[in-house]
Amino acid sequence: MNEVQVLRRAPSPGPAMRARPFRSAADRRSRIDNLLSPAEQEELTGIATVLDYRRPGIAIFAEGEDAHFLFAADKGTVRISRHDANGNRQILSFLWHGDIFGLSENGRYINSADTVNPAIIYRFPLQRLRRLLAGKPGLQLHLLTKAVHDLRAAQRQVLVLGQLNVPQRLVLFLHDLTQHRDIYDRTAGRLSLGIGRLDIADYLGTSPEHVARAFRALEQQRILKRRGPRTVDILRPEALDVLTSR
């Protein structure tokens, strides 16, 4: 019934939180643990609430809503999306463990966020966050860095959608996924997408049918083998690197 459950409210951080404070895989994304010192993380967890989203497709916040919180993904996958006038959905990014989200402009969320699969999310009240930030100008610079990083990523997606055809877009998407240790077992070559065809389609600016076709094409080229709709074995990882542009 209750689709979101508050696991912990932590003015005095519990031991489980301190035990696993956003440790992340080494990759190029801007993670909260890259941006903050251990002491700063401690301070942040002190004002955090832990939310447990049990089911996929649950809204975390919607574009245009008053922004009162900043979020960080811990477990599961979150999608950031925007809708056009016709109601068509464009997924702007997927977020995993350690990624922070909830960007606002003029006090309102710019985009929508909801769960792709069951997820655990940390929530930070913006007001208390601002009080923390005021004292430390360094933290503000970190947020600027994060915004610049996201900007760069968004511009990369513009390049992808403007220049590449669907199979090429899928190759780049799979390449990005293999950078996440959580979902890609490099030695076995097994990639656990955890994302449905419709979500992939809305991210790549195409249809689920065409995503399926693109998967088949890559399978015929012996680049991967589909084990299930959400599980593939990457047979030739180097084939995913060829297009790796900026």
Partner DNA sequence: CGCCGACTTGACACCAATCAAGATAAGTGG
Partner DNA sequence: CCACTTATCTTGATTGGTGTCAAGTCGGCG
Which positions touch a copy of itself (CB under 8 A)?
63, 82, 84-86, 88, 90, 92, 103, 105, 110-111, 137, 140-141, 143-145, 147-152, 154-159, 161-164, 202, 204-205, 242-246
In the bound state with DNA, the residue whose beta carbon lies nearer, of 135 and 228, is 228
In the bound state with a copy of itself, the residue whose beta carbon lies nearer, of 111 and 178, is 111
Continuous segment of H or E residues that includes residue 202: helix 197-204
The residues of the shown chain that bind DNA, judged by CB under 7 A, are: 165-167, 196-198, 205-213, 215-216, 226, 228-230
CA 167 – CA 31 distance, rounded (Å) = 29
The DSSP secondary structure of 104-161, one letter per residue, reads EETTEESSEEEESSSEEEEEEEHHHHHHHHHH-HHHHHHHHHHHHHHHHHHHHHHHHH
In the bound state with DNA, the residue whose beta carbon lies nearer, of 150 and 202, is 202
Residue 155: CB minimum distance to a copy of itself, A: 5
Residue 216: which of DNA, a copy of itself, none does it interact with, CB under 5 to 8 A by kind?
DNA
CA 49 – CA 124 distance, rounded (Å) = 7
Residue 88: CB minimum distance to DNA, A: 9
Residue 209: which of DNA, a copy of itself, none does it interact with, CB under 5 to 8 A by kind?
DNA
The DSSP secondary structure of 86-97, one letter per residue, reads T--EEEEEEE-T
Residue 148: which of a copy of itself, DNA, none does it interact with, CB under 5 to 8 A by kind?
a copy of itself
In the bound state with a copy of itself, the residue whose beta carbon lies nearer, of 5 and 245, is 245
Sheet with 4-9, edge to edge strand ranges:
4-9, 49-53, 119-125, 69-75, 100-101
The DSSP secondary-structure symbol of 34 reads H
